[in-house]
Amino acid sequence: MSSAASRFTSRLVPVTEDAATLYETWVGWGGEGIVLKKSSSIYRSGIRSPAWQKVKPKVTLEVIVTGGSPEPIPWGDWGLAVMLDLVYKHPRVGSLWR
């Protein structure tokens, strides 16, 4: 997280009618996303409500598979998988990662 975003604590509760600008600003500072709340909803500790919604950026990466393991390996309860070697462009800094 950037130093600008890390200055804020969990007590920061900006209220705005311009959620799009708040979202772009916060994510631009390195924040994970924002939570939108219906104005008539109240906070109830430990209870999830559709009146509160997390909004986070979705990242899509284009990758090039440069290699991988020849043998399948167990992957939890899902079955089998293989290890892949990938090259992709980092979505924030733009440099290539391997």
Q: Which helix (H) or strand (E) holds 87?
A: strand 84-89
Cβ-contact 52, 33 below 8 angstroms: no
| Same domain assignment for residues 42 and 68 | no
The secondary structure of residue 4, as a DSSP letter, is: H
Q: Does residue 72 or residue 6 have the better pLDDT? A: 72
Residue 6 has pLDDT above 80, yes or no: no
pLDDT at 72: 92
| Same domain assignment for residues 49 and 82 | no
Please give the tally of structural domains in the chain.
Answer: 2
Cβ-contact 60, 49 below 8 angstroms: no
- Enclosing domain of residue 24: 3-55
Residue written as token pair 């409500």: 49
Does the model's pTM come out above 0.75? no
pLDDT at 87: 93
| Same domain assignment for residues 50 and 68 | no
What average pLDDT does range 17-41 have in this prediction? 88
pLDDT at 85: 93
| Same domain assignment for residues 42 and 75 | no
Residue written as token pair 């089998």: 80
| Same domain assignment for residues 9 and 50 | yes
| Same domain assignment for residues 44 and 9 | yes
Residue written as token pair 């909803």: 41
